[in-house]
A and B are shown apart, each in its own frame.
Chain A
Amino acid sequence: MKILVCISHVPDTTTKVKFVDGDTKLDANGIQWVINPWDELSLTRALELKDDASTGVKSVTVAHVGNATTEPTIRKALAIGADDAIRVNAEPTDAYFVAAQLAEVVKKEQFDIIMCGIESSDYNNSAVGGMLAEFLDIPSVSAVSGLKIENGQAVITREIDGGKETVTVPTPFVAIVQKGIAKEPRIAAMRGIMMARTKPIKLYEPVAVESLTEYVRFEMPKPRAACKFVDPENPKELITLLQNETKLI
């Protein structure tokens, strides 16, 4: 069994973003780039499955659509333990474009399980995983919080409103993961970092696909009213304020 983990390259989650060129572009100055948190957890789960010989998982590959500047992020995934990597050499323009590129990769390389995160922390589209599955005309399971392999069959836990379901789907399929898929992201050890230097990153040239959306402008969240402080000895005043000003209670 072969697993593909799709990784998005995003600003560190503590970044306070700023925009340039008339608020049309992210100001990349000083940004630390990381693997999207969900994708780090997907990778961790994929490696756990590979570590367990009974699952029959033979390899874990990571794929990313991005230009050469994203290679450190890909190397990090290799250092964490991915066997090899694929980079589609293109500036990602939207989720549709990215999914179309990944679909070409999957068609050529053939994977059994493809893992995507529920959301990329930058453009927040929650779209690539489902789009990829539709391009390939294969099943996708969303809100996946658990993935096991029992007797060669993928057993999936997915979140539903007010609970969870255990489901199975035939391979190949796309698992769109969220909280629960792995406990803590695996960290790269020194040995992994050394080994990552020689692991292969296969380059794919992009196929011609138009993007369907265009981010034309960014704006900062509307400033919130300054905090009104209430005397800790008299919290009742807070309730009065909430009653009178917000009318919510």
Chain B
Amino acid sequence: MSVLVYTENWDGKFKKLSFELVSYAGKVAEMMGTTTTAVTIGEVSDDELKLLGKYGANKVICIKSDNLKNLDSQLFTNAIAQVAQSEGSKVIVIANNNSGKAIAPRLSVKLKAALGSGVSQLPLNLSPFTVYKRAFSGGAFAHVVLKTDVKIIALTQNSFDIAENSKDVKIERIDVQIDAPKTVVKDVQKQAGKLLLTDAEIVVSGGRGMKSPDNWGPIVELAELLGGATACSRPVSDEGWRPHEEHTGQTGKIIAPNLYIAVGISGATQHIAGVSGSKYIVAINSDKSAPIFEVAQYGIVGDAQKVLPKLVDAVKEIKGK
């Protein structure tokens, strides 16, 4: 009756998100008085699998199959469902990211298990099983009762602190019976080694108030100095000032970094919908009445062109550069 957590791996490696998921699943298992099993698909070394034990997994199952090389929502769902059934899992934890969103809804139908997605806290209650989730694009939160015997929780990235909770982890490698995939990958374009916006803990973001793509130098520099990533508002990516993958908001990426620095961004509802999960928001804007200051904890009313270089210098100073 364990808690099952699906931990994706990236070319055989886990990342912070994986540990967040396992930490979360471990805490849910504790609440329920049961154990945690993690499942991953692909080629992963024993040492890497053992890392999950450090965050609370009692058992790690690694599924290998030539038919599971690329994400095929149907097949991945079948593989995870088989494990959930053989483990007798009552709760399944999965990330609310691209691959989680591809799998969790299918799993919900396959197992007739209620799905709560965009969850950002531990369950509020076990009976009835109630989760706390994002609703109305960040304009509200909802308490949602998952009414079935088996439940699926799709956890928001960066919403749960990782916590070490070492377990004597048991590793199991299994083969599952899976058909040939229907999703055929023809071509992959991937930038390796770049910090993903969704993984970044600090994000520096520019809006139309930056005036021109030529002014982005200090935004990029600030992000680099802080070990963060860059983002932008929609008009900026629409104009082609910045790449589309930086577009943040309701119709772009939804992120929840620890620190979001918005420069020359007015703070339209649709933009805030993508960043309201940030722990702290800093705004730099020349207009004191810009709505971004209503959601920011720190603000500078001023001209970005003048303020940014001074900020870069100040960060260089503390970083000793």
Hey, which bits of chain A sit against chain B, CB under 8 A?
A: 11, 13-17, 19, 26, 37-38, 95-96, 99, 118, 121-131, 133-135, 139-143, 155, 159-170, 173, 176, 179-180, 211-221, 224-232, 234-236, 238-239, 241-243, 246, 248-249
Least CB distance, A118 to chain B, in whole angstroms: 7
Residue of B nearest to A183 (CB): B238
* A168 and B98 contacting across the interface, CB-CB below 8 Å: no
Check A126/B140 contact, CB under 8 A, given A239-B315, A242-B259, A249-B202. Answer: no
Q: Assess the A141–B140 pair: CB atoms within 8 A.
A: no
Q: Which B residues form the contact surface with A (CB < 8 A)?
A: 10, 70-74, 77, 96-99, 101-106, 108-110, 112-118, 130, 133-148, 154, 182-192, 194, 196, 198, 201-202, 226, 244-245, 247, 250-252, 258-259, 268-270, 273, 276, 279-283, 293-303, 306-307, 310-311, 313-315, 317-318
Q: If the complex has contacts A11-B136, A242-B298, are A38 and B311 also in contact, measured as CB distance less than 8 A?
A: no
- On chain B, the residues within 8 Å of A128 by CB distance are 105
In contact, B298 and A96 (Cβ under 8 angstroms): no
Query: Is the contact region of chain B dominated by helix, strand, or loop, or is it mixed?
Result: mixed
**A133 neighbours in B (Cβ, 8 Å):** 73-74, 106
Distance between Cα atoms of A164 and B141 in the complex (Å): 32
Residues of A near B103 (CB, < 8 A) are 130
Contact of A131 among B105, B247, B259 (CB under 8 A): B105
Chain A hits for B97, CB < 8 A = 161
User: Is there contact, CB below 8 Å, between A236 and B298?
Assistant: no
Contact B258 A248 (CB under 8 A): yes
B186/A239 in contact, CB under 8 A = no
Give Cα A186 to B236, complex, Å: 21
- Of residues B74, B106, B146, B283, which shows the largest number of chain A Cβ atoms within 10 Å of its Cβ? B106
CA distance A240 to B245 in the complex (A): 31
A143 to B245, CA, bound (A): 13
Inter-chain CA distance A242–B71, complex, in Å, is 40
Known: A160-B71, A217-B143, A248-B201. 8 other contacts (CB 8 A): A130-B104, A131-B105, A155-B186, A161-B97, A216-B144, A228-B299, A230-B299, A239-B314
B250/A218 in contact, CB under 8 A: no
Q: Which of A129, A130, A166, A214 contacts B185 (CB 8 A)?
A: A166
Minimum-distance CB pairs A-B, first 10: A232-B302, A130-B105, A163-B190, A142-B102, A212-B114, A134-B109, A236-B314, A166-B187, A134-B106, A127-B105
